[in-house]
Amino acid sequence: MNKLFLFILPIILFFNCAKKETDNKKFSLLALAYIMNQNNKLPIYINFVSHNEESTSAGDPDYAVQSVYVSSRNLVKQMADTIYSKGGKWNYQSDWKFLLSIKNYEPNGSSDINNKNLIRYLKEDKNFEVDPHAHETTYNYADVAKLISDLGVEPSKNVGGFVYDETSATKTWERMQNSLSSSQVSIPSYSWKPETLWGAASKSHTNDDKSFGAWKPKSPTEFTTHDSTKNLGYMGSGCKNLVTSTSKSSDHIAVVKKVIDNVQNGTYPKTGFYPITIMMNQRDFSANTIQTVSDILDGLKEYSDKGYIQWKTITEKKSIWINSFKSENTRIPCD
């Protein structure tokens, strides 16, 4: 049956495309059917995401101190090599302080990262995404994006974490519906236009979003309401899955496995879009956490080999949402 379907599907798609606008939704459903029919599996789209912070009060070390920077930088390099060697994808999301230390202490790179700075190494050698991350107490998102650009990498169009219910005019994510200008006197005029929101946190992290799918949020007070007229899309992360210094790889694998099972057994709709994230904080990086991540990747390999999961960056997930789901509301809350 599968072989017959795969034989006739290109013919169906060819004639379906000819109908243009009136059949756009039908084409989307056929494309989705093709995805699902690969051994009757609907893939889960997964990646790692990490943050470093601007303040030591958040638990991060002071990256402005050279010895602290070097130690953390070495761990980031080891983490990158581990994830890349095992076929994973990583969205590296950095605030301003660590980026400035890269510029100050390794402007021309080092031999262990092919004579590049760390940001170029992550992007050019490992094909990971580099996203701005900002608490905006000093540097706004455009400032951080400019720091990434100054290090020789085009920043992604992803907003790497934000407070979704913030309504203050100087803080709300709605400021970025079109573009955002740099605010620092030390940073030349720079404009950054994001396309995708990621990491919707609540104030004090008491009600962070835990949703699969993607949509275009209407407003801070109606964040989960889809508004197709908005420019910014939001990419969900699914259920909470945070790697800490003491967490076990088996627990993180179990979170992913539960999503796979729920899709396959019909608990979650088989027509859904399921982007999920395994989160990390750079302050927790150590030989132990790198080993935990390595074990997670090893434990998920069988599901990747069988087509149950696909490793995709946030931007790659966004492309799937646009092309296969026509940017429609696909939000499903994590149970």
* Pairing, β 214-215 against β 233-235: antiparallel
Q: For position 251, what pLDDT does the model report?
A: 98
Q: For position 40, what pLDDT does the model report?
A: 60
- For 80, the 3-state DSSP assignment is helix
Q: For position 205, what pLDDT does the model report?
A: 82
Tell me how far apart the alpha carbons of residues 188 and 244 are, in angstroms, rounded to a whole number.
37
- For 261, the 3-state DSSP assignment is helix
Tell me how far apart the alpha carbons of residues 263 and 168 are, in angstroms, rounded to a whole number.
38
Tell me how far apart the alpha carbons of residues 71 and 246 are, in angstroms, rounded to a whole number.
20
Q: Looking at the chain, how many residues does it have?
A: 335
Largest CA distance in the chain: 64
Q: For position 275, what pLDDT does the model report?
A: 98
Q: For position 89, what pLDDT does the model report?
A: 98
- What is the value of pTM for the model shown? 0.89
Contact indicator for 276, 9 with CB cutoff of 8 Å: no
Q: For position 74, what pLDDT does the model report?
A: 98
Mind spelling out the 3-state secondary structure of 262-296?
HHHCCCCCCCCCCEEEEEEEHHHCCHHHHHHHHHH
- For 44, the 3-state DSSP assignment is strand
Structural tokens at position 193: 């236009």
Q: Where are the beta strands (DSSP E) in 115-216?
A: 129-132, 158-163, 180-181, 191-192, 196-201, 211-212, 214-215
Contact indicator for 332, 272 with CB cutoff of 8 Å: yes
Q: For position 249, what pLDDT does the model report?
A: 98
Place of tokens 């302080």: 97
Helical (H) or strand (E) element with 92: strand 90-94
Q: For position 34, what pLDDT does the model report?
A: 42
Q: For position 14, what pLDDT does the model report?
A: 44
Q: For position 197, what pLDDT does the model report?
A: 98
Q: For position 33, what pLDDT does the model report?
A: 45
Positions of the chain with pLDDT under 70: 1-40
Residue 320's contacts (CB-CB under 8 Å, 6 or more residues apart) are 45, 273, 312
Structural tokens at position 76: 């980031």
